[in-house]
Chains A and B, each alone.
Chain A
Amino acid sequence: MNLHAIAAIYVYEMRRFRRTIFESLLSPVISTTLYFVVFGAAIGERIEEVEGISYGAFIVPGLIMLSVMTQAISNASFGIYFPKFIGTIYELLSAPVSFFEIVLGHVGAAATKSLLIGGMILLTAGVFVDFEIRHPGMMLAFLVMTCISFALFGFIIGIWAENFQQLQLVPLLVITPLVFLGGAFYSVAMLPPAWQAVALFNPVVYLISGFRWSFFGVADVGVGWSLLAIALFLTLCLGVVWWIFRSGYRIRA
Protein backbone atom coordinates (compact mmCIF):
# COMPACT_ATOMS: atom_id res chain seq x y z
CA MET A 1 0.00 0.00 0.00
CA ASN A 2 1.45 3.35 -1.06
CA LEU A 3 0.32 5.42 1.92
CA HIS A 4 2.44 8.40 0.90
CA ALA A 5 0.61 8.56 -2.40
CA ILE A 6 -2.83 8.41 -0.79
CA ALA A 7 -1.76 11.21 1.54
CA ALA A 8 -0.31 13.22 -1.37
CA ILE A 9 -3.53 13.00 -3.38
CA TYR A 10 -5.66 13.75 -0.33
CA VAL A 11 -3.55 16.76 0.66
CA TYR A 12 -3.51 18.04 -2.92
CA GLU A 13 -7.31 17.83 -3.16
CA MET A 14 -7.82 19.42 0.23
CA ARG A 15 -5.45 22.22 -0.77
CA ARG A 16 -7.74 22.97 -3.69
CA PHE A 17 -10.58 23.18 -1.18
CA ARG A 18 -8.57 25.47 1.12
CA ARG A 19 -7.78 27.82 -1.74
CA THR A 20 -11.48 28.43 -2.15
CA ILE A 21 -12.51 27.82 1.45
CA PHE A 22 -14.44 31.05 1.64
CA GLU A 23 -16.58 30.30 -1.40
CA SER A 24 -16.81 26.62 -0.51
CA LEU A 25 -18.21 27.17 2.94
CA LEU A 26 -19.99 30.46 2.40
CA SER A 27 -22.17 29.34 -0.47
CA PRO A 28 -23.85 26.48 1.42
CA VAL A 29 -24.38 28.79 4.40
CA ILE A 30 -26.02 31.40 2.19
CA SER A 31 -28.18 28.91 0.32
CA THR A 32 -29.26 27.26 3.58
CA THR A 33 -30.15 30.65 5.01
CA LEU A 34 -32.21 31.37 1.91
CA TYR A 35 -34.04 28.05 2.23
CA PHE A 36 -34.87 28.84 5.83
CA VAL A 37 -36.11 32.30 4.97
CA VAL A 38 -38.27 31.05 2.12
CA PHE A 39 -39.43 27.62 3.32
CA GLY A 40 -38.97 27.96 7.05
CA ALA A 41 -40.16 31.48 7.73
CA ALA A 42 -42.32 32.47 4.75
CA ILE A 43 -44.02 29.23 3.74
CA GLY A 44 -43.37 27.33 6.96
CA GLU A 45 -45.53 29.81 8.87
CA ARG A 46 -48.55 28.39 7.09
CA ILE A 47 -47.53 24.77 7.43
CA GLU A 48 -48.12 23.86 11.03
CA GLU A 49 -46.27 20.64 11.55
CA VAL A 50 -45.26 17.62 9.54
CA GLU A 51 -45.52 14.38 11.48
CA GLY A 52 -45.38 16.28 14.72
CA ILE A 53 -42.24 18.26 13.80
CA SER A 54 -42.18 21.97 13.07
CA TYR A 55 -41.70 22.50 9.35
CA GLY A 56 -38.50 24.51 9.83
CA ALA A 57 -36.88 21.62 11.67
CA PHE A 58 -38.42 19.04 9.34
CA ILE A 59 -36.52 20.34 6.33
CA VAL A 60 -33.10 20.39 8.06
CA PRO A 61 -32.07 16.79 7.22
CA GLY A 62 -33.24 17.18 3.62
CA LEU A 63 -31.32 20.43 3.20
CA ILE A 64 -28.16 18.86 4.55
CA MET A 65 -28.58 15.87 2.23
CA LEU A 66 -29.22 18.11 -0.77
CA SER A 67 -25.96 20.00 -0.24
CA VAL A 68 -23.90 17.01 0.80
CA MET A 69 -24.89 14.99 -2.27
CA THR A 70 -24.31 17.77 -4.78
CA GLN A 71 -21.06 18.86 -3.12
CA ALA A 72 -19.69 15.30 -2.94
CA ILE A 73 -20.48 14.78 -6.60
CA SER A 74 -19.15 18.10 -7.86
CA ASN A 75 -15.96 17.93 -5.79
CA ALA A 76 -15.08 14.38 -6.72
CA SER A 77 -16.03 14.73 -10.38
CA PHE A 78 -14.05 17.94 -10.80
CA GLY A 79 -11.14 16.49 -8.81
CA ILE A 80 -10.55 13.71 -11.33
CA TYR A 81 -11.83 15.51 -14.43
CA PHE A 82 -9.48 18.49 -14.06
CA PRO A 83 -6.23 16.44 -14.27
CA LYS A 84 -7.68 14.69 -17.30
CA PHE A 85 -8.54 18.03 -18.85
CA ILE A 86 -5.15 19.71 -18.28
CA GLY A 87 -3.16 16.52 -18.83
CA THR A 88 -1.57 16.24 -15.38
CA ILE A 89 -3.14 12.80 -15.06
CA TYR A 90 0.02 11.48 -16.75
CA GLU A 91 1.74 11.69 -13.39
CA LEU A 92 -0.96 9.69 -11.64
CA LEU A 93 -0.78 7.03 -14.36
CA SER A 94 3.01 6.78 -14.25
CA ALA A 95 3.21 6.64 -10.46
CA PRO A 96 3.47 3.43 -8.44
CA VAL A 97 -0.09 3.74 -7.21
CA SER A 98 -2.93 1.26 -7.48
CA PHE A 99 -6.36 2.32 -8.62
CA PHE A 100 -7.63 1.66 -5.15
CA GLU A 101 -5.18 4.21 -3.75
CA ILE A 102 -6.17 6.82 -6.34
CA VAL A 103 -9.83 6.36 -5.44
CA LEU A 104 -9.08 6.46 -1.72
CA GLY A 105 -7.24 9.78 -2.04
CA HIS A 106 -9.76 11.43 -4.34
CA VAL A 107 -12.96 10.10 -2.82
CA GLY A 108 -11.62 10.55 0.71
CA ALA A 109 -10.95 14.23 0.06
CA ALA A 110 -14.30 14.84 -1.67
CA ALA A 111 -16.14 13.04 1.14
CA THR A 112 -14.27 15.09 3.76
CA LYS A 113 -15.20 18.32 2.03
CA SER A 114 -18.87 17.45 1.76
CA LEU A 115 -18.87 16.27 5.37
CA LEU A 116 -17.48 19.65 6.45
CA ILE A 117 -20.12 21.41 4.39
CA GLY A 118 -22.82 19.20 5.90
CA GLY A 119 -21.58 20.14 9.38
CA MET A 120 -21.59 23.79 8.40
CA ILE A 121 -25.22 23.59 7.29
CA LEU A 122 -26.17 21.79 10.48
CA LEU A 123 -24.64 24.64 12.48
CA THR A 124 -26.36 27.26 10.35
CA ALA A 125 -29.68 25.47 10.72
CA GLY A 126 -29.21 25.53 14.49
CA VAL A 127 -29.26 29.32 14.33
CA PHE A 128 -32.73 29.36 12.73
CA VAL A 129 -34.61 26.46 14.29
CA ASP A 130 -34.58 24.28 17.36
CA PHE A 131 -34.11 20.59 16.83
CA GLU A 132 -32.45 17.72 18.53
CA ILE A 133 -30.75 14.71 17.11
CA ARG A 134 -32.20 11.52 18.56
CA HIS A 135 -29.66 9.10 17.13
CA PRO A 136 -26.43 11.04 16.65
CA GLY A 137 -24.41 7.92 15.92
CA MET A 138 -26.78 6.85 13.14
CA MET A 139 -26.96 10.45 11.89
CA LEU A 140 -23.20 10.50 11.46
CA ALA A 141 -23.22 7.04 9.88
CA PHE A 142 -25.83 8.09 7.30
CA LEU A 143 -23.98 11.30 6.60
CA VAL A 144 -20.60 9.62 6.15
CA MET A 145 -22.00 6.86 3.96
CA THR A 146 -23.81 9.40 1.80
CA CYS A 147 -20.65 11.48 1.47
CA ILE A 148 -18.58 8.47 0.45
CA SER A 149 -21.05 6.92 -1.95
CA PHE A 150 -21.86 10.19 -3.72
CA ALA A 151 -18.18 11.09 -3.90
CA LEU A 152 -17.66 7.72 -5.60
CA PHE A 153 -20.53 8.52 -7.94
CA GLY A 154 -18.94 11.91 -8.68
CA PHE A 155 -15.62 10.21 -9.37
CA ILE A 156 -17.34 8.01 -11.96
CA ILE A 157 -18.92 11.06 -13.60
CA GLY A 158 -15.53 12.81 -13.67
CA ILE A 159 -13.96 9.82 -15.43
CA TRP A 160 -16.84 9.54 -17.88
CA ALA A 161 -17.15 13.24 -18.71
CA GLU A 162 -15.39 14.40 -21.84
CA ASN A 163 -16.21 18.08 -21.42
CA PHE A 164 -17.36 20.52 -18.78
CA GLN A 165 -20.97 20.36 -19.94
CA GLN A 166 -21.14 16.64 -19.27
CA LEU A 167 -19.61 17.27 -15.87
CA GLN A 168 -22.58 19.50 -14.96
CA LEU A 169 -25.16 17.32 -16.65
CA VAL A 170 -25.69 14.55 -14.13
CA PRO A 171 -25.83 16.72 -10.99
CA LEU A 172 -28.21 19.11 -12.73
CA LEU A 173 -30.46 16.69 -14.56
CA VAL A 174 -30.45 13.73 -12.20
CA ILE A 175 -29.45 14.57 -8.67
CA THR A 176 -31.28 17.86 -8.08
CA PRO A 177 -34.66 16.50 -9.29
CA LEU A 178 -34.20 13.28 -7.34
CA VAL A 179 -33.46 15.19 -4.17
CA PHE A 180 -36.34 17.64 -4.65
CA LEU A 181 -38.69 14.75 -5.37
CA GLY A 182 -37.05 12.67 -2.66
CA GLY A 183 -38.85 14.28 0.22
CA ALA A 184 -36.33 16.94 1.16
CA PHE A 185 -39.14 19.46 1.76
CA TYR A 186 -42.09 17.18 2.47
CA SER A 187 -43.01 13.79 3.78
CA VAL A 188 -43.67 11.17 1.11
CA ALA A 189 -46.89 10.45 3.02
CA MET A 190 -48.13 13.87 1.88
CA LEU A 191 -48.16 12.71 -1.75
CA PRO A 192 -51.20 11.13 -3.45
CA PRO A 193 -51.04 7.30 -3.18
CA ALA A 194 -50.03 6.78 -6.83
CA TRP A 195 -47.06 9.16 -6.45
CA GLN A 196 -46.12 7.53 -3.19
CA ALA A 197 -45.61 4.31 -5.11
CA VAL A 198 -43.51 6.14 -7.72
CA ALA A 199 -41.46 7.84 -5.01
CA LEU A 200 -40.39 4.44 -3.71
CA PHE A 201 -38.35 4.02 -6.90
CA ASN A 202 -36.37 7.14 -6.05
CA PRO A 203 -33.27 6.01 -4.15
CA VAL A 204 -32.86 9.43 -2.55
CA VAL A 205 -36.17 8.93 -0.71
CA TYR A 206 -34.51 6.19 1.32
CA LEU A 207 -31.48 8.28 2.16
CA ILE A 208 -33.43 11.34 3.26
CA SER A 209 -35.93 9.23 5.14
CA GLY A 210 -33.21 7.38 7.05
CA PHE A 211 -31.34 10.58 7.75
CA ARG A 212 -34.50 12.28 9.00
CA TRP A 213 -35.20 9.27 11.19
CA SER A 214 -31.84 9.75 12.90
CA PHE A 215 -32.97 13.30 13.78
CA PHE A 216 -36.60 12.87 14.76
CA GLY A 217 -37.27 9.16 14.95
CA VAL A 218 -39.89 9.36 12.16
CA ALA A 219 -39.40 7.98 8.68
CA ASP A 220 -41.18 7.48 5.37
CA VAL A 221 -39.71 4.02 4.97
CA GLY A 222 -38.20 1.64 7.49
CA VAL A 223 -34.69 2.61 8.57
CA GLY A 224 -33.50 -0.86 7.60
CA TRP A 225 -34.56 -0.17 4.02
CA SER A 226 -32.68 3.11 4.13
CA LEU A 227 -29.50 1.40 5.24
CA LEU A 228 -29.97 -1.25 2.59
CA ALA A 229 -30.49 1.41 -0.10
CA ILE A 230 -27.33 3.30 0.74
CA ALA A 231 -25.31 0.09 1.04
CA LEU A 232 -26.62 -0.94 -2.37
CA PHE A 233 -25.72 2.38 -3.94
CA LEU A 234 -22.27 2.25 -2.37
CA THR A 235 -21.69 -1.27 -3.68
CA LEU A 236 -22.90 -0.30 -7.14
CA CYS A 237 -20.52 2.67 -7.31
CA LEU A 238 -17.63 0.55 -6.03
CA GLY A 239 -18.40 -2.01 -8.71
CA VAL A 240 -18.39 0.59 -11.47
CA VAL A 241 -15.15 2.16 -10.19
CA TRP A 242 -13.56 -1.30 -10.06
CA TRP A 243 -14.64 -1.93 -13.66
CA ILE A 244 -13.37 1.49 -14.81
CA PHE A 245 -9.94 0.79 -13.47
CA ARG A 246 -9.79 -2.76 -14.71
CA SER A 247 -10.70 -1.72 -18.22
CA GLY A 248 -8.81 1.59 -18.16
CA TYR A 249 -12.04 3.21 -19.40
CA ARG A 250 -11.30 6.76 -20.57
CA ILE A 251 -8.08 6.89 -18.58
CA ARG A 252 -5.40 4.57 -19.91
CA ALA A 253 -5.02 3.68 -23.58
Chain B
Amino acid sequence: MAAIVEVTDLSKTYGDGFRALRGVDLRIAEGEILALLGPNGAGKTTLISALCGIVTPTGGQALVGGHDVVADYRAARCLVGLVPQEVMLDPFDRVIDALRFSRGLFGRGRDEALIARILRQLSLWDKRDARLRELSGGMRRRVLIAKALCHEPRVLFLDEPTAGVDVGLRRDMWEVVRGLRARGVTIILTTHYIEEAEAIADRIAIIDKGEILLVEETAELIRKMGRKTLRIALAAPLARLPAALAEDGLELIEEGRALLCHLPAQGAGDGLTRLVQALAQEGLALRDIETRQSRLEEIFVGLLREGAA
Protein backbone atom coordinates (compact mmCIF):
# COMPACT_ATOMS: atom_id res chain seq x y z
CA MET B 1 0.00 0.00 0.00
CA ALA B 2 1.10 3.59 -0.65
CA ALA B 3 2.90 5.36 2.16
CA ILE B 4 0.88 8.18 3.72
CA VAL B 5 3.66 9.22 6.07
CA GLU B 6 7.24 9.28 4.82
CA VAL B 7 9.98 10.35 7.14
CA THR B 8 13.49 10.64 5.73
CA ASP B 9 16.59 11.28 7.83
CA LEU B 10 14.57 13.47 10.18
CA SER B 11 16.47 15.06 13.02
CA LYS B 12 15.70 17.49 15.77
CA THR B 13 18.20 19.22 17.98
CA TYR B 14 16.64 21.45 20.62
CA GLY B 15 18.00 24.88 21.50
CA ASP B 16 19.86 23.46 24.51
CA GLY B 17 21.75 21.06 22.24
CA PHE B 18 19.71 17.97 23.10
CA ARG B 19 19.41 15.70 20.06
CA ALA B 20 15.91 14.27 20.37
CA LEU B 21 15.84 12.75 16.86
CA ARG B 22 18.88 11.43 15.02
CA GLY B 23 18.14 10.72 11.39
CA VAL B 24 14.82 8.91 11.66
CA ASP B 25 13.58 7.01 8.60
CA LEU B 26 10.03 5.70 8.66
CA ARG B 27 7.36 4.86 6.10
CA ILE B 28 3.82 4.34 7.26
CA ALA B 29 1.33 2.75 4.89
CA GLU B 30 -2.14 4.18 4.48
CA GLY B 31 -4.66 2.42 6.70
CA GLU B 32 -2.24 0.67 9.04
CA ILE B 33 -1.86 0.94 12.78
CA LEU B 34 1.71 1.56 13.79
CA ALA B 35 2.77 1.41 17.41
CA LEU B 36 5.77 3.47 18.37
CA LEU B 37 7.47 1.93 21.37
CA GLY B 38 10.36 3.27 23.33
CA PRO B 39 11.40 4.19 26.85
CA ASN B 40 10.74 7.61 28.31
CA GLY B 41 12.73 10.28 26.51
CA ALA B 42 13.36 8.09 23.46
CA GLY B 43 11.97 10.70 21.06
CA LYS B 44 8.44 9.38 20.54
CA THR B 45 6.69 12.62 21.36
CA THR B 46 9.25 14.72 19.49
CA LEU B 47 8.73 12.59 16.38
CA ILE B 48 4.96 13.02 16.60
CA SER B 49 5.32 16.72 17.37
CA ALA B 50 7.57 17.21 14.34
CA LEU B 51 5.05 15.48 12.09
CA CYS B 52 2.19 17.58 13.48
CA GLY B 53 3.96 20.93 13.28
CA ILE B 54 4.48 21.54 17.00
CA VAL B 55 8.25 21.39 16.75
CA THR B 56 10.25 22.37 13.69
CA PRO B 57 12.68 19.67 12.52
CA THR B 58 16.31 20.73 12.22
CA GLY B 59 17.13 18.29 9.44
CA GLY B 60 15.68 15.79 7.00
CA GLN B 61 12.19 15.67 5.62
CA ALA B 62 8.73 14.49 6.57
CA LEU B 63 5.82 14.10 4.19
CA VAL B 64 2.20 13.48 5.06
CA GLY B 65 0.06 12.52 2.07
CA GLY B 66 2.96 13.66 -0.10
CA HIS B 67 2.99 17.15 1.45
CA ASP B 68 6.08 18.43 3.24
CA VAL B 69 5.16 19.18 6.86
CA VAL B 70 7.20 22.39 6.82
CA ALA B 71 7.05 23.79 3.29
CA ASP B 72 3.48 22.68 2.57
CA TYR B 73 2.23 22.66 6.16
CA ARG B 74 -1.35 23.59 5.35
CA ALA B 75 -2.03 20.60 3.13
CA ALA B 76 -0.10 18.28 5.45
CA ARG B 77 -1.79 19.38 8.68
CA CYS B 78 -5.29 19.19 7.17
CA LEU B 79 -4.76 15.43 6.98
CA VAL B 80 -3.52 15.01 10.52
CA GLY B 81 -5.28 14.74 13.86
CA LEU B 82 -3.41 14.75 17.16
CA VAL B 83 -4.40 13.43 20.57
CA PRO B 84 -1.71 14.72 22.91
CA GLN B 85 -0.31 12.85 25.84
CA GLU B 86 -1.45 15.34 28.45
CA VAL B 87 -5.03 16.43 28.85
CA MET B 88 -4.93 20.05 27.76
CA LEU B 89 -8.31 21.73 27.50
CA ASP B 90 -9.81 25.10 28.31
CA PRO B 91 -11.64 24.36 31.59
CA PHE B 92 -14.27 27.04 30.95
CA ASP B 93 -15.22 25.91 27.47
CA ARG B 94 -18.24 23.72 26.75
CA VAL B 95 -17.70 20.30 25.19
CA ILE B 96 -19.61 21.04 22.00
CA ASP B 97 -17.97 24.46 21.57
CA ALA B 98 -14.55 22.88 21.96
CA LEU B 99 -15.37 20.49 19.12
CA ARG B 100 -16.74 23.24 16.87
CA PHE B 101 -13.58 25.25 17.53
CA SER B 102 -11.35 22.35 16.50
CA ARG B 103 -13.25 21.78 13.30
CA GLY B 104 -13.11 25.44 12.36
CA LEU B 105 -9.43 25.67 13.18
CA PHE B 106 -8.73 22.94 10.65
CA GLY B 107 -10.52 24.92 7.98
CA ARG B 108 -13.77 22.99 7.90
CA GLY B 109 -17.25 24.50 7.81
CA ARG B 110 -19.88 23.69 10.41
CA ASP B 111 -21.17 20.12 10.43
CA GLU B 112 -23.37 19.59 13.45
CA ALA B 113 -24.38 16.08 12.32
CA LEU B 114 -20.76 14.96 12.27
CA ILE B 115 -20.04 16.51 15.65
CA ALA B 116 -23.12 14.82 17.11
CA ARG B 117 -21.97 11.49 15.69
CA ILE B 118 -18.49 11.84 17.18
CA LEU B 119 -19.92 12.87 20.55
CA ARG B 120 -22.22 9.85 20.58
CA GLN B 121 -19.45 7.51 19.50
CA LEU B 122 -17.33 8.61 22.46
CA SER B 123 -20.27 8.60 24.90
CA LEU B 124 -20.08 12.37 25.30
CA TRP B 125 -23.44 13.33 23.88
CA ASP B 126 -25.07 13.75 27.31
CA LYS B 127 -22.20 15.97 28.37
CA ARG B 128 -22.18 18.17 25.27
CA ASP B 129 -23.21 21.31 27.16
CA ALA B 130 -21.06 20.65 30.21
CA ARG B 131 -18.02 22.79 30.88
CA LEU B 132 -14.78 20.89 30.58
CA ARG B 133 -13.78 21.52 34.18
CA GLU B 134 -16.94 19.65 35.26
CA LEU B 135 -15.84 16.45 33.52
CA SER B 136 -13.89 13.54 34.97
CA GLY B 137 -10.37 12.81 33.76
CA GLY B 138 -11.55 9.99 31.53
CA MET B 139 -14.25 12.15 29.99
CA ARG B 140 -11.73 14.88 29.26
CA ARG B 141 -9.55 12.39 27.46
CA ARG B 142 -12.54 11.42 25.35
CA VAL B 143 -13.01 15.09 24.50
CA LEU B 144 -9.38 15.26 23.34
CA ILE B 145 -9.99 12.36 21.00
CA ALA B 146 -13.27 13.85 19.79
CA LYS B 147 -11.50 17.15 19.05
CA ALA B 148 -8.87 15.37 17.01
CA LEU B 149 -11.53 13.61 14.93
CA CYS B 150 -13.67 16.67 14.18
CA HIS B 151 -11.95 17.53 10.93
CA GLU B 152 -11.99 13.92 9.71
CA PRO B 153 -8.22 13.38 9.59
CA ARG B 154 -6.70 10.66 7.45
CA VAL B 155 -3.82 10.19 9.86
CA LEU B 156 -4.38 10.12 13.60
CA PHE B 157 -1.58 10.41 16.14
CA LEU B 158 -2.35 9.09 19.59
CA ASP B 159 0.34 9.95 22.09
CA GLU B 160 0.01 7.63 25.07
CA PRO B 161 -3.76 7.47 24.74
CA THR B 162 -4.29 4.99 27.54
CA ALA B 163 -1.90 6.34 30.17
CA GLY B 164 -3.82 6.58 33.42
CA VAL B 165 -7.08 5.51 31.84
CA ASP B 166 -9.49 2.97 33.38
CA VAL B 167 -10.29 -0.35 31.76
CA GLY B 168 -13.69 0.68 30.42
CA LEU B 169 -12.40 3.75 28.67
CA ARG B 170 -9.42 1.87 27.35
CA ARG B 171 -11.72 -0.69 25.77
CA ASP B 172 -13.90 2.06 24.28
CA MET B 173 -10.83 3.75 22.97
CA TRP B 174 -9.58 0.68 21.15
CA GLU B 175 -13.05 0.20 19.74
CA VAL B 176 -12.88 3.70 18.30
CA VAL B 177 -9.39 3.02 16.95
CA ARG B 178 -10.56 -0.16 15.24
CA GLY B 179 -13.58 1.67 13.83
CA LEU B 180 -11.34 4.37 12.41
CA ARG B 181 -9.04 1.85 10.89
CA ALA B 182 -11.99 0.13 9.24
CA ARG B 183 -12.71 3.46 7.56
CA GLY B 184 -9.13 3.62 6.29
CA VAL B 185 -7.68 6.06 8.82
CA THR B 186 -3.99 5.53 9.47
CA ILE B 187 -3.14 5.43 13.16
CA ILE B 188 0.19 6.03 14.83
CA LEU B 189 0.19 5.49 18.56
CA THR B 190 2.74 5.51 21.29
CA THR B 191 2.24 3.46 24.38
CA HIS B 192 3.98 2.02 27.37
CA TYR B 193 1.57 -0.90 27.51
CA ILE B 194 3.31 -3.30 25.24
CA GLU B 195 0.58 -5.91 25.33
CA GLU B 196 -1.67 -3.20 23.92
CA ALA B 197 0.63 -2.61 20.98
CA GLU B 198 0.82 -6.35 20.49
CA ALA B 199 -2.96 -6.65 20.42
CA ILE B 200 -3.79 -3.74 18.15
CA ALA B 201 -0.85 -2.74 15.97
CA ASP B 202 -0.12 -4.04 12.50
CA ARG B 203 3.47 -2.98 12.80
CA ILE B 204 5.75 -1.97 15.58
CA ALA B 205 8.55 0.56 15.48
CA ILE B 206 11.01 0.67 18.33
CA ILE B 207 12.72 3.97 19.00
CA ASP B 208 15.49 4.70 21.47
CA LYS B 209 17.76 7.72 21.92
CA GLY B 210 16.25 9.37 18.87
CA GLU B 211 16.89 6.46 16.52
CA ILE B 212 14.55 3.87 15.09
CA LEU B 213 15.96 0.49 16.12
CA LEU B 214 13.58 -1.56 14.04
CA VAL B 215 10.24 -1.55 12.26
CA GLU B 216 8.56 -4.90 11.86
CA GLU B 217 5.14 -6.47 11.50
CA THR B 218 3.94 -7.35 14.97
CA ALA B 219 3.47 -11.07 14.30
CA GLU B 220 6.75 -11.28 12.41
CA LEU B 221 8.61 -9.51 15.18
CA ILE B 222 7.39 -11.97 17.75
CA ARG B 223 8.12 -14.88 15.44
CA LYS B 224 11.61 -13.71 14.54
CA MET B 225 12.78 -12.38 17.83
CA GLY B 226 10.74 -14.46 20.22
CA ARG B 227 11.86 -17.65 21.91
CA LYS B 228 10.04 -20.66 23.20
CA THR B 229 10.98 -21.77 26.67
CA LEU B 230 10.30 -25.32 27.82
CA ARG B 231 10.26 -26.49 31.41
CA ILE B 232 10.30 -30.26 31.63
CA ALA B 233 9.40 -31.67 35.02
CA LEU B 234 10.98 -35.08 35.67
CA ALA B 235 9.32 -38.00 37.43
CA ALA B 236 12.54 -38.71 39.36
CA PRO B 237 15.26 -36.14 40.14
CA LEU B 238 18.52 -36.40 38.22
CA ALA B 239 21.88 -36.07 39.96
CA ARG B 240 23.67 -34.95 36.80
CA LEU B 241 22.69 -33.75 33.36
CA PRO B 242 23.45 -36.45 30.75
CA ALA B 243 26.18 -35.25 28.34
CA ALA B 244 23.98 -35.68 25.23
CA LEU B 245 21.37 -33.35 26.69
CA ALA B 246 23.91 -30.79 27.82
CA GLU B 247 25.09 -30.62 24.21
CA ASP B 248 21.55 -29.70 23.15
CA GLY B 249 21.69 -26.71 25.49
CA LEU B 250 19.48 -28.04 28.25
CA GLU B 251 19.93 -26.96 31.84
CA LEU B 252 19.18 -28.85 35.00
CA ILE B 253 17.15 -26.77 37.41
CA GLU B 254 15.22 -27.08 40.65
CA GLU B 255 17.78 -29.44 42.25
CA GLY B 256 17.52 -31.91 39.39
CA ARG B 257 13.75 -32.12 39.35
CA ALA B 258 13.31 -30.24 36.04
CA LEU B 259 15.02 -29.37 32.76
CA LEU B 260 14.97 -25.99 31.08
CA CYS B 261 15.27 -25.58 27.34
CA HIS B 262 15.22 -22.50 25.07
CA LEU B 263 14.19 -22.86 21.46
CA PRO B 264 13.95 -20.15 18.83
CA ALA B 265 10.28 -19.45 18.05
CA GLN B 266 11.17 -19.88 14.39
CA GLY B 267 11.43 -23.62 13.65
CA ALA B 268 10.56 -24.59 17.21
CA GLY B 269 8.88 -27.75 15.88
CA ASP B 270 12.14 -29.36 14.65
CA GLY B 271 13.91 -28.59 17.88
CA LEU B 272 11.05 -30.03 19.86
CA THR B 273 11.07 -33.33 17.96
CA ARG B 274 14.80 -33.73 18.46
CA LEU B 275 14.44 -32.92 22.12
CA VAL B 276 11.72 -35.50 22.73
CA GLN B 277 13.83 -38.15 20.94
CA ALA B 278 16.86 -37.27 23.04
CA LEU B 279 14.85 -37.48 26.24
CA ALA B 280 13.51 -40.90 25.22
CA GLN B 281 17.03 -42.16 24.42
CA GLU B 282 18.15 -41.16 27.91
CA GLY B 283 15.20 -43.12 29.28
CA LEU B 284 13.88 -40.21 31.33
CA ALA B 285 10.36 -40.38 32.73
CA LEU B 286 8.53 -37.04 32.41
CA ARG B 287 5.92 -35.60 34.73
CA ASP B 288 4.97 -32.39 32.90
CA ILE B 289 5.97 -30.06 30.05
CA GLU B 290 5.28 -26.35 30.12
CA THR B 291 5.98 -24.12 27.13
CA ARG B 292 6.07 -20.38 27.11
CA GLN B 293 6.30 -17.99 24.17
CA SER B 294 8.24 -14.85 24.99
CA ARG B 295 6.11 -11.76 24.77
CA LEU B 296 6.77 -8.51 23.00
CA GLU B 297 7.75 -6.95 26.29
CA GLU B 298 10.71 -9.27 26.70
CA ILE B 299 11.76 -8.70 23.10
CA PHE B 300 11.53 -4.98 23.67
CA VAL B 301 13.56 -5.01 26.85
CA GLY B 302 16.13 -7.30 25.19
CA LEU B 303 16.51 -4.97 22.23
CA LEU B 304 17.01 -1.93 24.38
CA ARG B 305 19.59 -3.77 26.45
CA GLU B 306 21.44 -4.77 23.26
CA GLY B 307 21.32 -1.14 22.11
CA ALA B 308 22.76 0.04 25.40
CA ALA B 309 25.58 -2.53 25.34
Contacts and interface: CB of A to CB of B under 8 A. Distances in A.
Contacts of A5: 104-107
A248 B56 CA distance: 9
B74 A2 contact: yes
Interface stretch (A90-98, A168-176, A202-210): A90-98
A87 B80 CA distance: 19
Interface in B50-95: 52-56, 73-78, 80, 82, 84, 86, 88-93
Given A94-B82, A96-B78, A253-B15, A86 B90 contact: yes
A16 B53 CA distance: 26
Contacts of B75: 96
Range of interface residues on chain B? 35 or more
A229 interface: no
Contacts of A90: 54, 82, 84, 88
Interface residues of A, number: 28
Contacts of B78: 96
A90 B49 CA distance: 9
A151 to B, nearest CB: 20
A4 interface: yes
Contacts of B27: none
B101 to A, nearest CB: 5
Contact of B109 (A4, A94, A97): A4
B101 A12 contact: yes
Contact of A93 (B53, B92, B104, B108): B53
Contacts of A252: 54-56
Contact of A94 (B14, B54, B107): B54
Contacts of B105: 4-5, 8-9, 91-92, 95, 97
A8 B104 contact: yes
A252 B50 CA distance: 10
A145 B56 CA distance: 34
B298 to A, nearest CB: 34
A15 B53 CA distance: 27
A96 B74 contact: yes
Contacts of B22: none
Contacts, number: 83
B134 interface: no
A87 B88 contact: yes
Nearest to A248: B56
Contact of B52 (A2, A9, A11, A94): A94
Interface in A1-47: 2, 4-5, 7-9, 11-12, 15-16, 19
B102 interface: yes
Contacts of A86: 88-91
Nearest to B14: A253
A165 interface: no
A83 B98 CA distance: 13
Contacts of A88: 88-90
A90 B77 CA distance: 13
Interface string B142-166: 0000010000000000000000000
B97 interface: yes
Interface string A239-253: 000000000100011
Interface of B: 14-15, 49, 52-56, 73-78, 80, 82, 84, 86, 88-93, 97, 100-109, 147
29 contacts: A2-B74, A5-B105, A5-B106, A5-B107, A8-B100, A8-B103, A11-B104, A12-B97, A82-B90, A86-B90, A87-B86, A87-B88, A88-B88, A90-B84, A91-B102, A91-B147, A92-B105, A93-B54, A94-B54, A94-B77, A94-B80, A95-B77, A96-B74, A96-B75, A96-B107, A98-B74, A252-B55, A253-B55, A253-B56
Given A2-B74, A93-B54, A253-B56, 7 more contacts: A4-B105, A11-B101, A88-B90, A96-B74, A96-B107, A253-B14, A253-B54
Interface of A: 2, 4-5, 7-9, 11-12, 15-16, 19, 82-83, 86-88, 90-98, 248, 252-253
Among all A-B residue pairs, the 4 with the closest Cβ atoms = A8-B104, A87-B88, A96-B77, A94-B52
